[in-house]
Structure 1
Amino acid sequence: MKSFEHVYRVHRLLKSRRYPVAFETLMEELECSRATTKRVLAYMRDVLGAPIETSREPRGYRYTDEAYELPGFWFSGEELQSLLTLQQLLATFQPGLLDDALGPLRKRLDQILESQGLTTGEAARIRLLRAAARPPGDHFATIAAAVLQRHRLKIDYESRATGKLSTREISPQRLVHYRDNWYLDAWCHQSDDLRTFAVDCVRCAEPLEASAQTVETEKLNARLGGSYGIFSGVPTATAVLRFTPERARWVAAEQWHPLQHGEWLPDGQYELSVPYHDDRELILDILRYGPDVEVMGPERLRSAVAERLRAAARRYA
């Protein structure tokens, strides 16, 4: 194990303990000899300027300055591999999305990993399959910067339902990655309300000097996260879905919504209750299960699903 790793482990241990750490504990953490442990402590104190003090009661080592951090770029080998894996996963997850921004960091991580005798190619053994994903468009970086820097945006937005283009001033709140596509939760100053925008439908994004209006997280979650799917709104109904025993074994292990309720029935069927506000996405998901699911309520949702099934059957008549 390299001294690089030794230093990091000692630093992490001293930072995490409220009381002095015994020398024997440091030896166990480093998995090395008494002499090597003393050399690591001396190197940290004399070269890195670590404020390490020896305590008599209780006996051990501690930092006299709790705010001290190691100079430079310090990670354990496992953390470096995790960072590199995440970057490679992101490249697969959304090809080219942050290549320019992460390129220099990735090269630096490669160099550090190689200096520690660690491999860099094993992340390719993780495979991500994406379904019905849309490219995030040319303005993802501008939108992400506005979210993080908390300033307003002027956007031209094309409605996918109508094809109409509208210009809006918005206060971005958060980016959402949902079903392989990117969405933006924002306060729309034109509508004077919260809205969710598909990032790939933003045709122009211009940063504004004005600060973004902040919406409390609790309100965001209540308005935009309380109902089923990506459509916003406080839940106004609860869908009750009954699945056949064959399909029940799969659905019982799935999470459709954080506030869902599931119940096994005596005949082996599984009944799932899901709160929703807008039924468009919910109907599409119900239709995926065909004859393996029945909508028990509410009646409006049951009728809508039945009509869609009849319309589909007529195409094959």
Structure 2
Amino acid sequence: MSHWNKVYELHRILSERTQPVSQATLLQELDCAPATLKRVLQTLRDLSAPVDNVRGLGWRYGEDVRGRFELPGLWLSNEELHALALLDQLLDQIDPGLLRRPLAPVRARIRQMKALLPDAQALGRLKLLPQGRREVRPATLGTIARATVARRRLRIDYHSRSKDEHTAREVSPQHLARYRDNWYLDAWCHQRGALRRFAIDRVHGAEQLGEVAHDVPPETLQAHLGSAYGIFAGPAAATAILHFSPDRARWIADEHWHDDQHGRWLDDGRYELHVPYSDPTELLMDLLRHVPDVEVIAPQDLRSAFVQRLRAGLERHAR
């Protein structure tokens, strides 16, 4: 029985008994040593339980609160608290400004419960490491999130990295998505009359408007935003056929690149992966991480673009 399960069981015993319960009885019912019982009693006291010790007789809850005291918050096992510890860490990484205020009471309770774990110090060994996260303005992210849920239009000031230009857009938010540690807004752009995807870190200002957002049918959203590789939107225009070396294949065979991917092992130990894509930009970036263990077999324009990037990199390093 875990420490927290013993705490819960002791609470149950003391809540149900009207007379003090002896140490011998508690040791037998909790199946523990005297030192463990001492720690369990101390945990109950840390949780403000009304534990009284009647000299020579044992322990009980005070008569004025017996049957009315309840353990605070949700009662969770050690394993569940470990999971919550990771969730608490993840909330910090998602964005402290977006969820800080509404979840502050819940997170304070989680941290209080974490502190009571016998291995609380070891929780620091559980880590979630962000990669490539770009900073967003908390107020901007909060405004976009509220408008997405409330189904209201937004006016945003957007700076496009690819074109290096600032534009003012009126958009109807459809989805707010977090992908590879960064936030993106899928929205109907009223200036362009089409679906667009905006990186939230490039939104320099956002204002919720009074007009009701235009809703794009789910099947249209899925067709436009969900069928291609990675974050680049658009229906899949082609399927990449990739061969990975036997050494790399052991990893690639277990990785999820796309919902519609499929692969097979080749006779020589290589792994062949088929991945639908629209814009090749992100796919090419991912493939470069696997050099020299990947070969682009098809289509030819993707193979040529990959070779061009490899050559450009070699030329830069040969200077």
Q: What is the DSSP-based 3-state SS (H/G/I as helix, E as strand, rest coil) of the residue aligned with 2:215?
A: coil
1:47-66 residue CA offsets vs partner (Å, 9 max, x unmatched): 8xxxxxxxxxxxxxxxxxxx
Q: 1:143 to 1:233 in 2, by over 3 A?
A: same
Matched residue, 2:288: 287
Distance 1:307 1:110, change over 3 A: closer
- Equivalent residue number for residue 133 of structure 1: 133
**1:183 aligned partner:** 184
Instruction: Name the counterpart of 1:76.
Output: 75
Match of 2:42 in 1: none
Distance 1:181 1:105 in 2: 24
Task: Please say if residues 227 and 277 of structure 1, whose CA atoms lie closer than 8 Å, have aligned partners that are also in contact.
Answer: yes
Q: Distance in 2 between matches of 1:151 and 1:198?
A: 19
Which range moves more in the overlay, 209-218 or 253-262? 209-218
- With 158-167 and 97-106 compared, the bigger mean Cα shift is at 97-106
Q: CA deviation at 1:107?
A: 2.3
Q: Given the alignment of the two structures, is residue 300 of structure 1 paired with residue 297 of structure 2, yes or no?
A: no
Identical counterparts, % of pairs = 49
- Give 1:214 deviation, angstroms: 1.8
Could you tell me which amino acid in structure 2 is paired with residue 250 of structure 1? W
Asked if structure 2 preserves the Cα contact closer than 8 Å seen for 1:295 and 1:301, the reply is: yes
> Which residue is 2:3 aligned to?
none
Taking a change above 3 Å as real, the CA distance of residues 100 and 306 of structure 1, as seen in their structure-2 partners, is same
Report if aligned partners of 1:84, 1:106 keep a CA contact under 8 Å in 2: no
- State the Cα distance separating 1:81 from its structure 2 match: 6.3
Q: 2:229 is matched with which residue?
A: 228
Unaligned runs of 5+ in 2: 1-6, 13-28, 31-66
Residue type of the alignment partner of 2:134: R
Deviations 1:100-124 (A, max 9, x none): 332233224445777xx65666643
CA distance 1:273–1:113, shift in 2 (3 Å): closer
SS at match of 2:210: strand
Once the two structures are TM-superposed, the CA of residue 203 in structure 1 deviates from its matched residue by 0.8
Rg comparison, structure with higher value: 2
* 1:257 CA displacement: 0.7
Distance 1:87 1:81 in 2: 10
Contact 1:241–1:294 (Cα < 8 Å) also in 2: yes
Give 1:242 shift. 0.8
Q: Which moved more, 1:212-221 or 1:156-165?
A: 212-221
Maintained 8 Å contact 1:229/1:282: yes
Q: In structure 2, do the counterparts of structure 1 residues 255 and 5 end up closer, same or farther at CA, with 3 Å as the change threshold?
A: farther
Q: 1:215 to 1:269 in 2, by over 3 A?
A: same
Letter in 2 for 1:278: D
Give the unaligned 5+ runs of structure 1. 7-30, 33-45, 48-72
Q: Structure 2: how far apart are the matches of 1:105 and 1:243? A: 46
Return the letter of the residue paired with 2:124.
A
Superposition deviation, residue 196 in structure 1: 0.7
- Count of matched residue pairs: 256
- For 1:124, the equivalent position in structure 2 comes to 124
CA–CA separation in structure 2 for the residues paired with 1:83 and 1:128: 13
Structure-2 change in CA distance of 1:299 and 1:208 (3 Å)? same
Cα separation, 2, equivalents of 1:216 and 1:123: 44
1:1-317 equivalent positions in 2, closer than 5 A = 1-2=7-8, 75-78=74-77, 82-83=83-84, 85-95=86-96, 97-110=98-111, 118=117, 123-138=123-138, 139-317=140-318
In the TM superposition, residue 90 of structure 1 has moved relative to its aligned partner by 1.5
- Letter in structure 1 aligned against 2:262: H
Q: Contact 2:158/2:204 (CA < 8 Å) preserved in 1?
A: yes
Alpha-carbon distance in structure 2 between the residues aligned to 1:208 and 1:103: 28
Check 1:191–1:238 CA distance in 2 against 1; reply closer, same or farther (3 A cut): same
Deviations 1:272-291 (A, max 9, x none): 11001111111111122222
Deviation (angstroms), 1:86: 1.5
Cα gap change, 1:85/1:128 in structure 2, threshold over 3 Å: closer, same or farther? closer
Distance in 2, Cα, partners of 1:4 & 1:208: 55
TM-score by length of 2: 0.71
| Cross-structure match for 2:53 | none
8 Å CA contact 2:171–2:189 kept in 1: the answer is: yes
Asked if structure 1 preserves the Cα contact closer than 8 Å seen for 2:155 and 2:168, the reply is yes
1:224: Cα distance to partner?
A: 0.6
Normalised TM-score (structure 1): 0.72
Equivalent residues of 1:152, 1:212 under 8 A apart: yes
Q: Secondary structure at the match of 1:228?
A: coil
> 1:135–1:240: structure 2 CA closer, same or farther, 3 Å change rule?
same
> What amino acid does structure 2 have at the position aligned with 1:316?
H
For 2:222 and 2:250, how far apart are their aligned partners in 1?
30
Look up the equivalent residue of 2:178 and give its one-letter code: H
